[in-house]
Structure 1
């Protein structure tokens, strides 16, 4: 199995082929199919699907609360054993909301950030035309952004990075481009094209910031505990969802199905925590951003 996996990974490292197989496909149709397939509760379907998944990924269930699942969806959205993640309690730190590989990160300059080197996008394009989002580019100017990419085999639940209040959710329907590095280096403004949700957040001290989960091919399904609907390609609205949900640092806020990306945007007064740089693997609860002063 390891030999087959190595051959597959070497094959998929060919960028043209990787991009072709993960993007030049009927993305939305396959994503809807995957949503249906993952919900099938049949042992043969689950076992065969997980066998294929293990063959082509580094799926590790040693930290999972349960290792037997009645559907592929249950494995995608699995919980971890108690104590599997330690949340840094330092109030000066914002912790990572998820397990991830750090992507592009840096300073928000003139409303511009990067999805990959040489591939910028504008915050106002990402956040859409909602009146609720119009003030954010100015409020975040000079602040810091971090891109967190979740692979298919990772833990898919996301958590509060601080003691926070979720005040509003803006849902933006869109495409389902792959969000891997190959696609990010080829598709202009990719995050601005894909389905996403803007989480309007505020710390207990009143500091506003944003978390933006972005869906991707075979994913396009997000669940937030504060919103009583499943956000996916079949969701028709409303797009603006007021809410008033308080979370303590590390408390679960929701999950992706399969894997995708979370974008974090904070205003001036923060810097990347020690060791945070593009390509670094990070776990939920580890230091992500540090308050200055």
Structure 2
């Protein structure tokens, strides 16, 4: 069976690049082979495997994995507050904080910024019925939010997905100034959010464990901020104080080991997204962005 390569555009250089995710062959086996369905459903999507691996990545002997991971993936450690020798485990390295100057927050009250490093897709045409289809897979806002009343507020709005690969910086931040709600935990499975899995079943975003909060802003209306759990993501930690005013670029939380996604929902006619992100998304191509980078403006 032939598989499409994971192609994305590096926004800063406008280069077309190919991603080679860790465990690529295993992911293809799980999501495309009929023989992969049994381990996927019995073991991989379940909490026990992810918890087990998350604990392994927090053990002291996992330090040995850091240097090879950095070298293999060309990670720029000059951005990190800690040096390789200062980390106490692989997870400690994975949730590393960056130096303030490593990410520049785009200024301007009417400028919306990316809340994370990752690869972006934007769906700017959510139907009034809160349904859209990707290769036949149905996704509904009511099901995603587990709140039909809240879903109505975002009918006709925009959905943005930021996919974090294991090599990315794994802290997430606020895309705008506003008042942030409590984070609601929605329990679920731990499917991979790799494009190999998402192309097979877009409903993973409705089925995986996730956290949902609302950022109430003056310029952009209400914004849903949701963090998605996934295979080998050892946990989602929120570091902000609920029911408080937060500034654009302030830290919201972090993911433990594993690649995952941030999903954002915007009300209709509140944001004009940058055309390059929209054009690439229409072609089905992700765009690599960095936390603090401008992604749109208030309408």
Same-fold call, TM > 0.5? yes
Q: Check whether the contact 2:95–2:170 (CA below 8 A) recurs between aligned residues.
A: yes
Hey, what does 2:254 align to over in structure 1? 255
Hey, what does 1:286 align to over in structure 2? 293
Hey, what does 2:50 align to over in structure 1? 31
Hey, what does 1:145 align to over in structure 2? 159
Q: Check whether the contact 1:145–1:263 (CA below 8 A) recurs between aligned residues.
A: yes
| Cα deviations by residue, 1:254-283 (Å, 9 ceiling, x for unpaired) | 111133101111102222223213311000
**When the two structures are aligned, how many residues end up with a matched partner?**
263
**Could you tell me how far apart the structure 2 residues matched to 1:285 and 1:226 are?**
17
SS at 2:243's partner residue?
strand
Hey, what does 2:78 align to over in structure 1? 62
| Cα deviations by residue, 1:149-207 (Å, 9 ceiling, x for unpaired) | 00011001111111111123211011100001110011251111100011122014582
Higher helix share: 2
Q: What's the TM-score once normalised by structure 1's chain length? A: 0.80
Hey, what does 2:24 align to over in structure 1? 12
Aligned in 2, Cα 1:193/1:164: closer, same or farther, shift over 3 Å? same
Aligned in 2, Cα 1:88/1:188: closer, same or farther, shift over 3 Å? closer
SS at 1:88's partner residue?
coil
CA RMSD across the alignment? 2.7
Does residue 46 in structure 1 map to residue 63 in structure 2?
A: yes
Q: Cα offset for 1:291?
A: 1.6
Q: Check whether the contact 1:96–1:288 (CA below 8 A) recurs between aligned residues.
A: yes
Hey, what does 1:163 align to over in structure 2? 177
**Could you tell me how far apart the structure 2 residues matched to 1:12 and 1:79 are?**
27
Q: Check whether the contact 2:161–2:261 (CA below 8 A) recurs between aligned residues.
A: yes
Aligned in 2, Cα 1:120/1:271: closer, same or farther, shift over 3 Å? farther
The counterpart of 2:144, out of the listed 126, 135, 138, is 126
Hey, what does 2:130 align to over in structure 1? 111
Q: Cα offset for 1:247?
A: 0.8
**Could you tell me how far apart the structure 2 residues matched to 1:10 and 1:36 are?**
19
Hey, what does 2:214 align to over in structure 1? 200
Q: What's the TM-score once normalised by structure 2's chain length? A: 0.79
Q: Name stretches of at least 5 consecutive residues in structure 1 with no aligned partner.
A: 1-5, 228-242
Hey, what does 1:90 align to over in structure 2? 108
Hey, what does 1:239 align to over in structure 2? none
Aligned in 2, Cα 1:181/1:58: closer, same or farther, shift over 3 Å? farther
**Could you tell me how far apart the structure 2 residues matched to 1:205 and 1:185 are?**
34
| Cα deviations by residue, 1:16-51 (Å, 9 ceiling, x for unpaired) | 3363679727223321112211221x2x4311x225
Q: Check whether the contact 2:219–2:298 (CA below 8 A) recurs between aligned residues.
A: no
| Cα deviations by residue, 1:186-238 (Å, 9 ceiling, x for unpaired) | 125111110001112201458212011111000051111236xxxxxxxxxxx
Q: Name stretches of at least 5 consecutive residues in structure 2 with no aligned partner.
A: 1-17
SS at 1:271's partner residue?
strand
Aligned in 2, Cα 1:86/1:17: closer, same or farther, shift over 3 Å? same
Hey, what does 2:243 align to over in structure 1? 244
Hey, what does 1:174 align to over in structure 2? 188
**Could you tell me how far apart the structure 2 residues matched to 1:93 and 1:135 are?**
28
